[in-house]
Structure 1
Amino acid sequence: MKRLPPLPALHTFLITAQCCNFTRAAEQLHITQGAVSRQIAGLESHLGYALFIRQARGLALTAEGREWLPRVQQVFALVGEAVEQIGEKRETLQLKAPTCVMRWLLPRLMQWQKERPDVPVELTTTVRHGVDFHREQFDAAVVYGAPPDASLAAQRLFDEQLTPVCSAPYLEGPVPLRTPQDLQQHMLLHPTRDEHDWKAWLAHADVQLSNVSKGQHFETLDLAMSMASQGTGVAIGDWALIGDDLSAGRLVTPFDLKVKTGAAYYLVLPQIPEPSPKLQDLLKWLVAQAAIR
């Protein structure tokens, strides 16, 4: 296979072919006329045939030059398209977050897009609570659990605080729900299979119930909250995540007790010298939103 001609020479050929004049091509390329002439001559030498016919009043393409022109135009059009498309993709911030934080995060990202349409965010949700930036191509992530290790730059958003929740009509229903012991008469909704959240809250409330394992179990916190808002039963929710539901009246908290589990939600990103200004803006905005829950 014959060695390909150098890309700068092909670009010079493209501009010169469009102008059919060394002087105007040199002006567009911001180089001297002599440099244009030498690049064209070198390209012709490389190919083994002439591309231009030198005339007294300018240049004309040879038959070979006319065949080359549309092909070179196509090549540079593809390069320009790639630069634009890949650049746009890189400008979209890639964010990962667990499904349990969606009730808080998604409305805020929608508000962010209204306020900052120049900084689009693509959100990937997962049932996993961590992130591996070595294997996953994300700019930042929300993680849940213990404090992240030193390999990540982390900012605490808020602590997990468990408390029972239900709909307002359910709370006012015929079956009393005035004390934690009254939960014995209600359907308990579990956001996980392990029942850990309900057991932790009941332990702090110093209440023992026989119906804990008889409740309904869901795969995600969001599903449990949705069922509670529909009056199905009493769910154990994270007070830090349901502020919007409480404000809108979709959920109410029948008891004042909130139990901190020691887990928290963190905004993390790789330990890099300097995040992009747009990423810094998003991170600061989310931290500020968490502070005004």
Structure 2
Amino acid sequence: MRDLPSLNALRAFEATARLGSVSRAAEELHVTHGAISRQLRVLEEALGQALFARHGRGVALTVIGEELRDRVSSAFEQLREGWAHLQRGSENAPFVLGCAGSLLARWVIPRLERLERDLPTLRLHLSPEEDPLAPKHAEPDAALAVATPPWPLGWHVHVLAPERIGPVVSPRHAALPRLLDGGPAALSEEALLHTSSRPQAWPAWAQASGLSVESLHYGQGFTRLFYLLEAAVAGLGVAIAPAQLVQDDISAGRLVAPWGFRQTDASWILATHRRNDSCIDAVASWMRNALQENDGLSGG
């Protein structure tokens, strides 16, 4: 025999008893009305007695429901107070942001000084993870990623900006005059730089731009997007890149994007397991604004 009923059921009961409404309890706990009703039935079946009776549009506690409320409410209040105490003790703990190396090197770090200036109470710790939504080590407070829905199970996602990709090339690249004269079709004569971490980038851009995917052929490949973009800056060829990762290079004249950028089905996201967290909301808002600053680069 179990010593306690389901804690989820007790939590559903406590919220319903406190709020006087199944619907409001469901809203607070971020579940459906039916999920709360099922949890309440679990408790009632275990006790063999009703805990609630209908009262207008809400519910009213029965005598045994009132007794259970008093005991459960006291226990949950102790849990809340204990958790708040632990949180106060960890107020100075760093905010851990998981992020793929390419995003970290080419977008986060160049903006780190400004982020710290704009959010002075944020103690940021950067955790490089090639797949920050599936960390192999300790779970970060939030993960910055470019991803497509459906979002990973269990993560609360702040959508920051749509992803746009396009070809970029250094002004020093010997073939640039020919490419500019020939337009996008001239890319069929170029050995394109590419990355194994994003094999569909070139085909997706070509299709969106009305080019034949079969006309593309590839030159040097790289295992990481960061290396690919460094090769493009060095004048080694034409690369395909997300607009936000090359906007600083374009502004500084290190790269040009002759044919613009095309929107993909992916988005920049900030994902977390923590809901209703003002710190994460502030970081998400800051990142959303920063990503949209140079949105003019993303036309195509």
TM-score using structure 1 length = 0.60
Distance 1:280 1:263, change over 3 A: closer
| 2:288 counterpart of 1:287 | yes
* 2:273 aligned with 1:270: yes
Deviation at 1:120, TM superposition (A): 2.0
Residue 117 (structure 2) pairs with residue 122 (structure 1): no
Indicate the RMSD between aligned Cα atoms, in angstroms: 2.9
Deviations 1:69-106 (A, max 9, x none): xxxxxxxxxxxxxx9xx858x52110001234232222
Q: For residues 245-269 of structure 1, give each alpha carbon's deviation from its aligned partner in whole angstroms, at most 9, with x where no partner exists.
A: 211112111213x322201111111
Specify the alignment match of 1:219 in structure 2.
223
Question: Could you tell me how far apart the structure 2 residues matched to 1:267 and 1:248 are?
Answer: 27
The answer on 1:201 being equivalent to 2:205 is: yes
* d(CA) in 2 for partners of 1:292, 1:168: 24
Q: How far is the alpha carbon of 1:171 from its aligned partner?
A: 7.0
Residue 155 of structure 2 corresponds to 152
Kept after mapping to 1: 8 A contact 2:96/2:140:
yes
* Residue type of the alignment partner of 1:162: I
The amino acid that maps onto 2:130 is: V
Which residue is equivalent to 1:104?
107
Map residues 241-256 of structure 1 onto 2, 5 A cutoff.
Answer: 241-256=245-260
What's the CA shift for 1:157? 1.4
**For residues 163-178 of structure 1, what are the structure 2 equivalents within 5 Å?**
163-170=166-173, 173=176, 175-178=178-181
Number of residues of Structure 1 aligned to a counterpart in Structure 2: 204
In 2, distance between residues paired with 1:195 and 1:177? 25
Report SS of the residue matched to 2:250: helix
Partner of 1:281: helix, strand, or coil?
helix
Aligned to 2:140: 138
Could you tell me whether the CA contact under 8 Å between 1:96 and 1:124 is conserved in 2? yes
Shift of 1:233: 0.1
- Give the number of the structure whose alpha-carbon radius of gyration is greater: 1
Output the CA distance in 1 between the equivalents of 2:269 and 2:200. Answer: 21
SS at match of 1:101: helix
Q: In 2, Cα distance between the equivalents of 1:95 and 1:184?
A: 40
Match of 1:239 in 2: 243
Distance in 1, Cα, partners of 2:285 & 2:204: 33
Instruction: Write out per-residue CA displacement over residues 208-243 of structure 1, whole angstroms, 9 at most, x where no aligned residue.
Output: 366745311111222111111111000011113322
Structure 2 residue aligned with 1:184: 188
Q: What is the CA deviation profile of residues 120-154 of structure 1, one whole-angstrom value per residue up to 9, with x for unaligned ones?
A: 21111222252469x73311111221232563222
Encode CA deviations 1:106-131: one digit per residue, 9 max, x unaligned.
22223212444542211112222524
Residue 286 to residue 176, structure 1, CA distance change in 2 (3 Å): closer
Q: Deviations over 1:253-289 (max 9, x none)?
A: 1213x322201111111143x42x4444333222222
| Separation in 1, partners of 2:279, 2:134 | 21
Deviations 1:188-221 (A, max 9, x none): 1113256311111122223236674531111122
Assess if the C-alpha contact under 8 Å between 1:187 and 1:232 holds in 2. Answer: no
Distance 2:230 2:114 in 1: 22
- Pick closer, same or farther for the CA change 1:176–1:265 going to 2, 3 Å: closer
Paired residue for 1:44? Answer: none
Q: Which one of 90, 94, 97 corresponds to residue 95 of structure 1? A: 97
Q: Structure 2: where are the runs of 5+ without partners?
A: 1-85, 295-300
Alignment partner of 2:173: what SS?
A: helix
CA contact (8 A) 1:177 1:183 kept: no
Q: 1:191 to 1:280 in 2, by over 3 A?
A: same
Secondary structure at the residue paired with 1:216? strand
- In the TM superposition, residue 161 of structure 1 has moved relative to its aligned partner by 1.3
Residue type at the aligned position of 2:187: L
Contact 2:164 2:243 in 1 (8 A): yes
**Residues 171 and 254, structure 1, Cα contact 8 Å, conserved in 2:** no
Q: Structure 1: which amino acid aligns with 2:195? A: P
Amino acid at match of 1:146: T
Equivalents in 1 of 2:266, 2:186: separation in Å?
28
Q: Would you say the 8 A contact 1:142–1:266 is kept in 2?
A: yes
Is the 2:147–2:267 contact (alpha carbons within 8 Å) kept by the matching residues of 1? yes
The correspondence of residues 15-26 of structure 1 with structure 2, limited to 5 A, is none
